[in-house]
Chains A and B, each alone.
Chain A
């Protein structure tokens, strides 16, 4: 029986060490990460979110974009994340220090978005793509997000924000489609997704 006690105390110590090992130790290891200053450009890498970007991130969460898109460029030997041009380097824990909650994602029904701001810097492209993905990416299975846009009658001058919709996607004569605040915020967030800066690891100097 003494053997049994020893064995099972061991079992439970192991059980709790899993908690320490998978939760506490990573926390201690990563909690002190801080943005790095780029001396040449005078920018912070990564930069904290602006108000609009943070709102856009909230829209990204509420529309569940994360269920089809990851935000991580993997290292490793058996995947082609870098070869697909999804990033110039592997993602680093530092890239995510302002993320709350994290949106690393688990599914690539659509492409990775860790560097979408670099790949698609055009606001117009993003708006057209959200309005109806078939405009920019025919054959895509991404759902349209027309509910982020408002169709309204043109009063006087057409709005400067109006989407340049043509052909089958264009609204009726005399109407225009303009982005709501949520659409603008989401696009601001997309443009900000950028992990192209270099990270200086401790000991690299």
Chain B
């Protein structure tokens, strides 16, 4: 039974530690601010926003209106 409690304690300590570190880090590096920038971070700078990126091989992709970056 003692093994059991030691194990539980270790797991919990390790988990809490990593969690608080991750949290501190994410706030420090501004993960909870600049939302628009975050949403656009999946596009590289030269990728036009508003263009279909995947298509059946036998179809031509439709023309879409391009949009400006925020």
Contact = CB atoms under 8 A, between A and B. Distances in A.
Q: Do the two shown chains form a genuine complex with each other? A: yes
Interface of A: 1, 4-5, 8-9, 12, 15-16, 19, 24
Given A4-B27, A16-B16, 9 more contacts: A1-B27, A5-B23, A5-B27, A8-B27, A9-B23, A12-B16, A12-B19, A15-B19, A19-B12
Interface string B12-42: 1001100110011011000010000000000
A-B pairs, 3 with minimum CB distance: A12-B19, A8-B23, A4-B32
Contacts of A12: 16, 19-20, 23
Contact of A24 (B8, B19, B23, B24): B8
Contacts of B20: 9, 12
Chain B: interface size category: 10 to 19
Q: By DSSP majority rule, is chain A's interface helix, strand, loop, or mixed?
A: helix
A14 to B, nearest CB: 11
Contacts of B27: 1, 4-5, 8
A5 B24 contact: yes
19 contacts: A1-B27, A1-B32, A4-B27, A4-B32, A5-B23, A5-B24, A5-B27, A8-B23, A8-B26, A8-B27, A9-B20, A9-B23, A12-B16, A15-B19, A16-B12, A16-B15, A16-B16, A16-B19, A24-B8
Nearest to B33: A1
A21 to B, nearest CB: 13
B35 to A, nearest CB: 13
Nearest to B18: A12
A71 to B, nearest CB: 26
